[in-house]
Amino acid sequence: MRKFDPWPVFFRREWNRNWPFLVGFAITGTIITKFSLGLTEEDAKNSPFVQRHKRESNMVLPQIFFGELSSPWEGQRSPGLSFYGSSSV
């Protein structure tokens, strides 16, 4: 006698339960992607939201780590940047 294989039953039941979520997720992702890829630099310059949240530089941390900006903790012990209690400064 052949053993019962539960996987087809499981997948059918789960598909019937989850297809609305999966389809909604796919549609929402497609809409967000379509609108996001349609934005240009000109849209960002004219956006009040971008202007309110604009920073001097978006690359502050890489500039500090690669030495382009001086660290605010120059010559001091750096808070929060030491690993396992050892300090590299």
Beta-carbon contacts of 75 under 8 Å, excluding residues fewer than 6 positions away, are: 89
What is the model's pLDDT at position 68? 52
Mean pLDDT, residues 45-68 taken together: 67
State which amino acid sits at residue 30.
Answer: T
- Residue 1 confidence class, pLDDT cut points 50, 70, 90: confident
- The domain spans of the chain are 1-33
DSSP 20-34: HHHHHHHHHHHHHHH
Tell me the per-residue pLDDT of 2-38, one tens digit each, with 9 for 90 and over: 898 999 999 999 999 999 999 999 999 999 999 989 8
Mean pLDDT computed over every residue of the chain: 76
User: pTM of the full predicted structure?
Assistant: 0.45
- d(CA 74, CA 28) in angstroms, rounded, equals 47
